[in-house]
Amino acid sequence: MMLKPHSLGALLLTLSALPVMAPAPAVAFADPGPAAAAPVAPAAAPGGHTADQIGRFLARFYRTHGPSAHDRRHHVSQVLLERQATTQSDVLLCAQNEPRDIGIGPVTVAQAAGVGWATVTTHWDADRTDTFTAYVRLDSKPIRIDDVICAG
């Protein structure tokens, strides 16, 4: 499986592989004296979708057998729409058929990366299952699937 450079999943995998470095030692400077007070901008309120909101969205989006035509048009990123136009399989389900059932796993939110994701499990005949990961940008308006990475 080859990840495309624009893939959100590839970005997360790359970020998670980076080494954690210790902070640089503090350097002491002489106090230059009183300075004029600069206006302080209020801290930005944590924005974006919560894990609960993403979980409810994914459950509503994927339903029991897959997303509706409306959801496929209005709740999917442009990247996925373009990917779907160039492939025979369903990029939102990582399959070519409709599953018997779909389950959504726990949602993970990475505020620093601006993304949340969950494992989606598709159930097929003969008790066979497949999984893939669905990614949602925390700042998407309206909320939408930003990327899907198939398990392979």
Q: Tens of pLDDT along 53-78?
A: 999 999 999 999 999 999 999 999 99
User: If you average pLDDT over residues 84-94, what whole number do you get?
Assistant: 96
The verdict on residue 113 lying in a domain is yes
Residues of the domain holding 128: 48-150
DSSP class of residue 53?
Answer: H
The verdict on residue 139 lying in a domain is yes
CA 135, CA 58: separation in Å to the nearest integer? 10
Q: Tens of pLDDT along 18-31?
A: 444 444 444 444 44
CATH number of the domain where residue 140 is located: 3.10.450
Question: What percent of the chain is modeled with pLDDT above 70?
Answer: 69
The verdict on residue 31 lying in a domain is no
* pTM summary value: 0.71
The verdict on residue 83 lying in a domain is yes
Least confident of 4-18, 46-60, 105-119, 137-151: 4-18
Per DSSP, what are the bridge partners of residue 95? 90
How many domains does the structure of the chain reveal? 1
